[in-house]
Chains A and B, each alone.
Chain A
Amino acid sequence: MKLKKIFTNARVIIVFIAIILAVVAIFPNFSNDGVAIRSIKPNSAAGISGIQNPKPTTAPMQREVIKAINNKPVKTVADYYKFVSALKPNMTLQLKTNKGIYKLTAREKTEIIVLNETITKFVNETIEANETINGELKQVNKTITKAIQVPKTETIGLGIVEDIGLEVYEAPKTNVRKGLDLQGGVRILLKPEKKLSEKDMEFLLAGMKERLNVYGLTDIVIREAGDLSGNQFILVEIAGGNDKDVESLRQQGKFEAKIEDDVVFSGGNDIKYVCRSADCAGIDPSSGCGQSDDRWICDFRFSITLSQEAAQIQAELTKTLEVVSSQSRNQYLSKKLTLYLDDQKVDELSIGADLKGKAVTDIQISGQGTGMTRQDAAFDALKNMKRLQTILITGSLPVKLEIIKTDSISPVLGEEFVRNALFVGLLSFIVVMLAVLVRYRRFVVAIPVIFTMIAEVIILLGVAALIGWNIDLAAIAGIIITVGTGVNDQIVISDEALRGQASAASGLKERIKRAFFIILSAYFTNVFAMFPLLFAGAGLLKGFALTTIIGISIGILITRPAFGDVMEILLKE
């Protein structure tokens, strides 16, 4: 009777639905053998075989996993590399993944040598031309063929096999992403171009960290290093290990917008605001993507707000420019605004005639990305946009950095740690149940307490899997505090519910309501205490605060109301 009441209670049903959703999000599959594909090098043997390059946002269990090569099963990363290292040029191999079968041909590694002679090459070029059609001046596109001289090249084979272009890792067993502490990653040693003072070094590290935050990579450790001979290094460790992420860190990111040789504004301080939301940043809807030769090109654009000083400089520089009418109807100024990133031209922007001598603060920045397919080009464009935005927000680093070496490292806390942590967690659950049993001498209290603890951990991990945040040491601390707070709250509810049973001074419902006053006050105090830690720079504090806030919120919103109702049903005479 009471059981039926419990399982038809709306709040209890919500807990069960949450648990089911969490398990779906975690998607555990402990027999998921094989090696998952981390990334594919463009134009490599793997790249042209049709395997899709996984997006970084893809959930771990949705990644393509190589199950067999040439019908022989691949279970570990070592298995995979055994196959790959035995490859000879022009050998074919059949990759069987969970999504399909691909045929790859290993290519010979080649080198292109530029010879000392030139050959004539014909290229097609599209130009805009004015033509008189029916007595009216019109602008038309014309294709002309041009002959150009290019140096003659020769391709020679080196007799060894070229990298097939796949980067793999052990196939994940759940959707919960493990952090640097638990999973390991790549360790990259960078060297600054010139020796830095302590203050500059601090500035450099701060700048790199800021970039990481903008770029959305949180599970990274950056620190200073040095060797016996006094060389300076910067050590970067990244969870999971996609060393391509380091590229955005490494770039000095000297961004300059120039009119001829005069700098109008540069990245960092000159820029007040960089738009990163969909309405003012993304693939340019007016020009979009187009095909040229065998490649696709996509344009991106986003708007920025300049500081008043930078706008003033722009006004000064544009005052003296002439207004010219181009072939189209729009009128532009005679010189263009050119964008440079690390001294390389990114894009050229025409300046509208109406902006002449005006101190405008809102400017649209554009650029492009290329790729073999339309999708690749769009992906590339968005990646370039993000990089440019990051640089504009954070400004440039004081020096260029050079990569000295890249290594994969095993985690500080390995498999052994996870197993031990699970064992200790289970043990603590049993101990808590015994303590509650000894205190209240009732299974009707002890069993719901334990059930709630387990439910909270599962739901919390489900949320972690869903929003894709890394479970590391800080997150584990957050899980412990969530469970601890949960037990505390349940003791408050049980005590309050059982206390009045003897005196019966007030109704059961009333007493549980009072317990919730205490629980809610403690909850809000805790959340507000964690809030400032979310904004403290280091990842450790952030991870801890985020996990704790989400964890205790799950408790207060989902599990605690159900526990209160269950107590009410079970203790009612």
Chain B
Amino acid sequence: MNKKAILPALLALLAVAPAAAQYTYDPSAADELDKPGNLYFGSARDERGAAVPDVMVILETTQTNFTLVTDEQGRFRARLPLDTLAASVKASCSRPGYVVVRVTKRLGPKRANSPVQVDCLLKRQGAR
């Protein structure tokens, strides 16, 4: 076995593993895309990368709000109506005892039902 070849492969695997562990599904998989509605998914983490559960995630459109809450892995996902214009959806996050550092919205490929990722970075109130 070529040890020189294995090491980079292992390192690459380790680099990918945490990200892969964040989600138990592939948002680009055909069965996900076939479901009705536009998939929104994402996570809430603190400044050390730890998952933050029970974060209120609000996806605000011109018509209404969609209110989600992150699970114990700090994840959420939901489907919004297909006629919701992803670019105009305003995302916000909040949880008592935390300060929101950043909310990142990543649009998918330019298709009507491409998944949209929303990630929240929070900091515990009083933390340096």
The judgment on whether A and B are partners is no
